[in-house]
Amino acid sequence: MKTLKITDETHKLLTMVKGEILAKSGDANLTYDDAIKGMIELWNEENERRGASSFLRAYHFVRFRWWSRLDLEKVSEELGEKYAVEWSRGPESETEIDLRKDERTILNVKADTLGAYLDIYKVVMYQREPAPFTARDVELRERLFEMYNRDRPTPFPWQYLEEPKFVTLDEPQPTEA
């Protein structure tokens, strides 16, 4: 058994939901736990109706390049025509010694719900909130897969990354790579 802390306003809303479920079911022993379970069931049904996974997760996936650096300037020009593009740099210090200081530049690219952090050897694709991919998101993902054509950081078989399932607006079923 767990204890939840909720505001008075949330408690009032939950009590109203409990009352509606009680009126429909006629169960005099209905608890707040039952009311919460009922809301979760309704939420799952709504997601299934829309074709989404019951517990749709925000997309997060990493891809790599092994042998050649990506020209971020060129990529910025190409992707800047269709997507929001922004430059950023990693933290710097006057006293630090780092042979790869020049490799800290990161290109942030944003489509509709899909964003990506690109550096010269790695891309991190992400969603802040779980949502179905739009056509622009799918297009950006495909282009990034072309640029970063490896699914692990080295040629050695030490790590395998499996792409998470995602849903598109056009396809109601979860999509796997």
| pLDDT tens profile 7-47 | 888 888 888 888 888 787 777 788 888 888 777 777 767 76
Quick: pLDDT tens for 78-104.
Answer: 999 999 999 987 666 777 777 676 677
Joined together, the tokens standing for residue 58 give 């925000």
Q: What number of H helices and E strands is found in the chain?
A: 4, 5
Closest by CA to 57, choosing from 125, 128, 140, is: 128
pLDDT of residue 56: 63
Joined together, the tokens standing for residue 62 give 């990493």
Q: What does the alpha-carbon distance between residue 171 and residue 14 come to, in Å, rounded to a whole number? A: 34
Residue 31 burial by Cβ neighbours in a 10 Å radius (0-12, 13-18, 19+)? exposed
Inform me whether the pLDDT recorded for 54 exceeds 70.
Answer: no
Q: What does the alpha-carbon distance between residue 11 and residue 142 come to, in Å, rounded to a whole number? A: 45
